[in-house]
A and B are shown apart, each in its own frame.
Chain A
Amino acid sequence: MKIVLEKLTKTFPGRGRKARNDVTAVDNFSCEIPDGELIALLGPSGCGKSTTLNLLCGLEQPTSGKIFFGDEDITDLPPELRGVGMVFQNYALYPHLTVKQNILFPLENLKRKDRPSREEMMKRAMETARLVQIEELMERKPRELSGGQQQRVAIARALVKMPRVLLLDEPLSNLDARLRLQTREEIRKIQKETGITTVFVTHDQDEAMSISDRIAVMRSGVLMQMGKPQEVYDNPSNLFVAKFLGTPPINVFEGRVREGLLYIGEEAVLSVAGTTDQDVWVGIRPEGFILKEDGPMTCELKRVEVMGRDISIISANKACTGQTLRSIIDAEMKVDTSSSQVHFALKPGKVFLFHRETEERISF
């Protein structure tokens, strides 16, 4: 089911009698989610991604704007008529019901005329349980399950109604690191098998990049950029997106463009022909550095971290906005650790320029 959000805005009334500062959680959000894709809503906490999810599932009503599932305008429909399945961050499994009863619960809610027969309901519950591999846990209570198993039960409960859209709120945040890797693969697998358009909320860019077809990066209620993970990573549309994506994070420098050359500090590090002279922010991905004796960029060497596959050089540069900058180079390169300085050349595709005030991308 294709999802279209049209100028979606959600404002919460502010506290305080005199100065009512209304909070705009989602601000003029427009996007189109193609049928059958897995979309990650990504952003720091408080950026409005969970509110967007609540608007999609109908727990919140938008202040203005419209939501379409396919061609159907569902903006004013209550949650149960939208055909959405939702997995909550803490799973919200009913503790007094067994796994089976939990999965059956949404089906038993259906009005008598829509409700399948008892056998049909059991059959669907078993099918869904098989999909998420919890058939042997059906008689247990939620507290007797591990976090990962509870998660699967929650997914099964959301899927049993055969929803048009599946929504997941921070699905992995309650799991430990190892289980998280495994579970995200499984979510991906289940989504591919069912082909249900899925939207999940996360603040972990690793998670978002690794399993989603598209990511939508949000900041303070505004959609910053949406696209395939690699595209967004390679082509951030502004400084925020560039900084938010990538581990280790991008290095940001104060720089300026003079006569077609990019200067960081006093050094001309890259040719950016055709760009007008101005002050800019320069973002350089850690993998954008080339260790080179006569490279144009000089940094003060702090330390070297050997990671096996590659090595990280931690160095300092006066123009860098962080205290240190990190560059990742091939482990076969030899670093002269006795020297106090290190010289780099830059890969042009890994260097991004941003407008100093608007922080928008300047292409060169």
Chain B
Amino acid sequence: MNMNKKKAWIYLLPAVLFLALFLVYPLIDVFVYSVEEGYNFASQTYFGTGLYNFSYVLHDPFFLQAVKNTFILVIITVPLSTGLALLISAGLSSVRPLRDLFQTVYFLPYVTNTLAVGLVFMILFQKTEYTDGLVNLMLSWFGAGPVDFIDGPYWAKMFVLCFYTIWIVMPFKILVLTSALASVNQDYYRAARVDGTPRFRVFTKITLPMISPMIFYLVITGFIGAFKAYSDAVALFGTDLNAAGMNTIVGYVYDMLYGDSGGYPSYASAAAVILFAIVLTITCINLLVSRKKIEY
């Protein structure tokens, strides 16, 4: 090993140590826990090793419900929030007056506390003995009956959760997309104008390909973020998510560790590993697709 290589490793050492200690070691630990059956925190003992934890988790109705909820959430919110963000950013970059004001307004949800927003959503959607809530009031104008969005039917609760998630993730996407749109060289648009390109064609043939790397970045991080959803559900439905039927995979992991029915680190680890596998697969698919689509 020559001098330069040694130097390089010394420079890297702090980061490597830090990552090894707080990222690699816990990750390996989770994999180890997930195959240790009946692991007990207090006594640090376990019965044996095997795949029983996975089998248990995969047969647990609460886990299956959580997986279903998470997938519905991901499939609905990622495309919708990205698409809406794209529309809003395209709109924002084509208006001139008050653009800064609009940008600030659209960015506000990003700086607002999740739980505070959850409270606001509860007030908007919840039906209590005293009031039907603002949303139900508006529904009644169109002749639709009051629906309890917080404690009512599954689809209503899922609707609120998706609505809330989209609302909370959009500001960041709008921010990224408006700056991506602003960074497209204006000469492309001028060239398109000289050639008389219709507006829709300019958007699909020039703007979209130009900002496609940013869109794929948002889709990938959006998928990962949505798979890790938990606090949003808690903000809306409280901590007993299994009872509400609105648990997510991360929520299930948390419940297994610390919840009222908790104390099972092995099951929690198995669930976490399954989540890891799902996210890894989806991300790989995303990367493969994006590599095919973005090539300049």
Contacts and interface: CB of A to CB of B under 8 A. Distances in A.
Interface string B278-296: 0000000000000000011
B201 interface: yes
Nearest to B212: A96
Given A92-B188, A96-B210, A59 B195 contact: no
Sort chain A's interface into a size bin.
20 to 34
A68 interface: no
Contact of B191 (A78, A86, A95, A143): A86
Given A92-B185, A95-B296, A96-B296, A80 B195 contact: yes
Q: Which of B187, B201, B295 has the most CB of A within 10 A?
A: B187
B198 A86 contact: no
Interface string B192-223: 01111110010001100110100000000000
B191 A88 contact: yes
B99 interface: no
Nearest to A110: B196
Interface residues of B, number: 19
A161 interface: yes
A65 interface: no
Given A78-B196, A80-B196, A109-B197, A92 B190 contact: yes
A81 interface: yes
A153 B236 CA distance: 57
A92 B191 CA distance: 7
A57 B195 contact: no
A165 B195 CA distance: 13
A85 B196 CA distance: 11
Interface string A59-100: 100000000000000000011110011101110101110000
Contacts of A86: 190-191, 194
Contacts of B190: 59, 86, 88, 92
B289 to A, nearest CB: 16
Interface string A141-164: 101000000000000000001000
Contacts of B295: 96, 141
Interface string B209-252: 11010000000000000000000000000000000000000000
Q: Which of B195, B201, B296 has the most CB of A within 10 A?
A: B195
A79 B205 CA distance: 19
A109 B198 contact: yes
B194 A143 contact: no
A244 interface: no
A92 B187 contact: yes
B196 to A, nearest CB: 2
A260 interface: no
B194 A59 contact: yes
Given A96-B209, A143-B296, A58 B194 contact: yes
Q: Which of B205, B212, B295 has the most CB of A within 10 A?
A: B205
Interface string B41-84: 00000000000000000000000000000000000000000000
Interface string B158-202: 000000000000000000000000000101101101111110010
A173 to B, nearest CB: 14
B194 A94 contact: no
A105 B190 CA distance: 14
A143 B296 CA distance: 8
Contacts of A44: none
A88 B193 contact: no
B216 to A, nearest CB: 13
B117 to A, nearest CB: 38
A60 B212 CA distance: 30
A79 B193 contact: yes
A249 interface: no
Contacts of A106: 195-196
5 contacts: A90-B187, A92-B191, A96-B210, A109-B195, A110-B196
Given A96-B210, A106-B196, 12 more contacts: A58-B194, A59-B193, A59-B194, A86-B191, A86-B194, A92-B188, A92-B191, A94-B188, A94-B209, A95-B296, A96-B295, A143-B296
Minimum-distance CB pairs A-B, first 5: A80-B196, A106-B195, A92-B187, A92-B191, A96-B209
